[in-house]
Structure 1
Amino acid sequence: MSRPYNFSAGPAMLPEPVLSQAQEEMLDWNGSGMCVAEMSHRGKEFMSIAEQAEQDLRELLAIPEGYRVLFLQGGASSQFAMVPMNLSGRVGKADYLNTGSWSKKAIAEAHRFCAVHVAASTQPEHFVRAPAQSELALSEDAAYLHYTPNETIEGVEFPYIPESSAPLVADMSSTLLSRPIDVSRYGLIYAGAQKNIGPAGLTILIVRDDLIGEPLSGTPTMFDYRVHADSGSMYNTPPTYAWYLAGLVFKWLKDLGGLEGMGEINRRKAEKLYAAIDGSSFYANPVEPASRSWMNVPFTLADPELDADFLAGAKAAGMLTLKGHRSVGGMRASIYNAMPEAGVDALIAFMAEFERTKG
């Protein structure tokens, strides 16, 4: 591979075949004489791109009948407000699980629109695990249960889908399309695109029909799911180029064998990297093994004074953006879909050599 391996947590690397195709089509998409970024979102050229992208996404995820797929703006952070605005009105109360930095932000925003019951929190343990189902103190009258299946900063991932009588809402920004999921278990799924789906600027929303249509009084038009569903995600100008690139990623995934094939690759990448960390006295991962993320692998060095040397050496060896989040420190390797297995192998080899010379 001629390009460096980019371990960024997001915006993350995109598949090289996708970038190559976008490069080929930059000046003239499919004989139209236009770049996709220049097209009217209501023109037949872009409409064909949008329709194909949704069709491919529905096929990849086996989305059942009765769910809408929306292609929105505002990132997952906008959904921290849009979810309670659209779903809490029935009872004015929602359950949330607090398992890391992103669920904390979702909880803080939800407090502005409804009563929030934190049904479980691992914050006292510094977010090193996901709570078990038996630990969830769920309300009997919640409008929904919100959780973050994968916390990108702490590297904590739920090894199960929570059971709830209320509709389940999931921020899947860092897990959607990384493996098969049963969409029918969820009332609503949302995901910022910049991890496994495409470039920043696009947000995917998958929502069950019966959860649309009762927003809080005063909800802005652009925050109303019904408005976007009824207009085919084109109430205003959508993020057209990001939508197009996401469509190319969907086709790339289908060519790899769909989410079953992608899931097997991702499982193997994560297992290799954790085995290298666990097999060393020089590196450590703080997360309980059962809750370790497939997508984001934080690790520390035995001597933090060597962090700068590690990052400099990794960059020289063609491995970028390994510095951990400022709130956690250490290192973080984000190994989303587009990170090839060879990139993980290269990181493991570099880690072993660094330990040999510095340990």
Structure 2
Amino acid sequence: MNAPAQPAATAPARLDDLPLRPELVGEEPYGAPQLDVPYRLNVNENPYSPSAAVIADIAAAAATAATAANRYPDREARALRDDLARYLGHGLTADEVWAANGSNEVMLHVLGAFGGPGRSVLSFAPTYSMYPEYARDTHTTWLAAPRADDFTIDPDQAVAAIEQHRPDVVFVTSPNNPTGTAVALSTLELIIEAAPGVVVVDEAYYEFARAGTPSALELLPRYPRLAVTRTMSKAFAFAGGRLGYLAASPAFVDALRIVRLPYHLSAVTQAVARAALAHADELLARVADLRDARDDLAAWLAGRGFEVAESDANFILFGKFADRHAVWQGLLDHGVLIRETGPKEWLRVSAGTPEEMAAFKDALDRVTKEQGT
């Protein structure tokens, strides 16, 4: 009896062979380089690891959550939202807080609820490079109004852009990424009052702002269509935990609950985030050191003749370079990884430990000498 014929071997499918959505053709996945180098100053992490006590509490919380891993987590994450409300203050309650896997997912929830086909989202460029991708992924039209030459938002121009485009959603990043620029509350108020839809103020870097910088949380009681997002990834040294959150009116939060995936926050994520929040004072203790490192770095760069954007975040945008990629590569060749992002003549470097800052300064001096920049 003859053996059955074997199917002909075929080559593995390529991305081009798949029926991808047209707007995704040619796109690359988002991601800053993750390279094994001595000094990583490219993604604005808090460089200080949690203490042994914090690590032990996080591990214990994860172990406790694992005992019920056969059950679904609390889909409303009530205890975590209560802890986050307590941390934020301003009289907020759990009903006015939402949490997700990083502020990235929070933003997707916002556009899932308020964006979509036939709707638009407006922001002020240069700003966070993921915003257009959130818009693309939710079929929301992306619109960008320009910032001023110093990367601030001109309130009159912002209002004019809103009146022209009538966006359903407005994203305002304060402090802004990649420039570090904070936005005045008076400007935010004008934007909110002009916007026909919802306004989201992204305060991912707020804990690093200089003393006296007000938060948009102060405006929440007056504006039910306003939301303020934060993250534990930066100041909390919890980037690996992937926990972002939003404060808004209960109705706004309810809108996000409609579009969230079932059980979107794992029991382990909720447990370890609560453990980290219980150590908020300790985890935030290094924020002042990073502010000092940022300000020292800004002064040092300016002293070397670079243009430096004023920053209230834990990073510095500096330039200008005729060939920024050559400078980026030169630094990488010396073991220092920074970020090639934002305006094409600029580079961004995160504030780090004294050792990291010394290594960056030494490498930049070497590269500028080698390249004659």
- Structure 2 residue 329 is the aligned partner of structure 1 residue 280: no
Gaps in structure 1 of 5+ consecutive residues: 216-223, 229-233
- In the alignment, residue 255 of structure 1 is paired with which amino acid? E
Gaps in structure 2 of 5+ consecutive residues: 1-36, 221-225
Query: Quick one: structure 1 residues 42 and 254, their matched pair in 2 at CA, closer, same or farther if it must change by over 3 Å?
Result: farther
Distance across 1 between alignment mates of 2:228 and 2:70: 26
What displacement does 1:207 show?
2.5
Distance across 2 between alignment mates of 1:132 and 1:101: 15
Distance across 1 between alignment mates of 2:64 and 2:356: 33
Q: Say which of 257, 277, 281 aligns to 1:225.
A: 257
- Structure 2 residue 47 is the aligned partner of structure 1 residue 17: no
- Structure 2 residue 217 is the aligned partner of structure 1 residue 196: no
- Structure 2 residue 126 is the aligned partner of structure 1 residue 100: yes
- Could you say what secondary structure the match of 2:98 adopts? strand
- In the alignment, residue 354 of structure 1 is paired with which amino acid? R
- In the alignment, residue 89 of structure 2 is paired with which amino acid? A
What displacement does 1:176 show?
4.3
Which position in structure 2 is the counterpart of 1:236?
263
- In the alignment, residue 139 of structure 2 is paired with which amino acid? R
Distance across 1 between alignment mates of 2:269 and 2:345: 31
Which position in structure 2 is the counterpart of 1:178?
208
Q: How does 1:106-185 map to 2 (within 5 A)?
A: 108-109=135-136, 112-113=139-140, 120-122=145-147, 129-136=151-158, 137=160, 138-139=162-163, 145-152=170-177, 154-161=178-185, 162-163=188-189, 164-165=192-193, 166=195, 167-172=198-203, 174-179=204-209, 181-185=215-219
- In the alignment, residue 156 of structure 2 is paired with which amino acid? S
Distance across 2 between alignment mates of 1:245 and 1:278: 41
Q: Say which of 90, 96, 99 aligns to 1:71.
A: 99
- In the alignment, residue 205 of structure 2 is paired with which amino acid? T
Distance across 2 between alignment mates of 1:151 and 1:209: 26
- Structure 2 residue 314 is the aligned partner of structure 1 residue 295: yes
- Structure 2 residue 85 is the aligned partner of structure 1 residue 58: yes
* Structure 1 residues 85-143: Cα deviation after superposition (integer angstroms, max 9, x where no partner): 43469xx8666222225365168449835x7775x323xx7x76122222212349766
* Structure 1 residues 235-261: Cα deviation after superposition (integer angstroms, max 9, x where no partner): 5162444444444443444237x6xx7
- Could you say what secondary structure the match of 2:128 adopts? helix
Distance across 1 between alignment mates of 2:307 and 2:294: 15
- Structure 2 residue 250 is the aligned partner of structure 1 residue 209: yes
Q: Is the CA contact (8 Å cut-off) linking 2:317 and 2:347 kept in structure 1?
A: yes
What displacement does 1:62 show?
1.3
- In the alignment, residue 157 of structure 2 is paired with which amino acid? E
What displacement does 1:169 show?
1.0
What displacement does 1:274 show?
0.9
Which position in structure 1 is the counterpart of 2:5?
none
What displacement does 1:297 show?
1.5
Structure (1 or 2) with the larger CA radius of gyration:
2
- Could you say what secondary structure the match of 2:228 adopts? strand
Which position in structure 1 is the counterpart of 2:110?
83
Q: How many residues align?
A: 307
Distance across 2 between alignment mates of 1:87 and 1:192: 21
Query: Quick one: structure 1 residues 246 and 155, their matched pair in 2 at CA, closer, same or farther if it must change by over 3 Å?
Result: farther
- Structure 2 residue 340 is the aligned partner of structure 1 residue 324: yes
Q: Is the CA contact (8 Å cut-off) linking 1:69 and 1:207 kept in structure 2?
A: yes
- In the alignment, residue 100 of structure 2 is paired with which amino acid? L
RMSD: 4.5
Which position in structure 1 is the counterpart of 2:34?
none
- In the alignment, residue 204 of structure 1 is paired with which amino acid? Y
Which position in structure 2 is the counterpart of 1:221?
none
TM-score (norm 1): 0.64
Distance across 1 between alignment mates of 2:330 and 2:270: 39
Distance across 1 between alignment mates of 2:154 and 2:266: 38
- In the alignment, residue 109 of structure 2 is paired with which amino acid? M
- Could you say what secondary structure the match of 1:310 adopts? helix
Distance across 2 between alignment mates of 1:208 and 1:175: 22
- Could you say what secondary structure the match of 2:304 adopts? coil
Which position in structure 2 is the counterpart of 1:220?
none
Identity %: 13
Distance across 2 between alignment mates of 1:329 and 1:308: 14
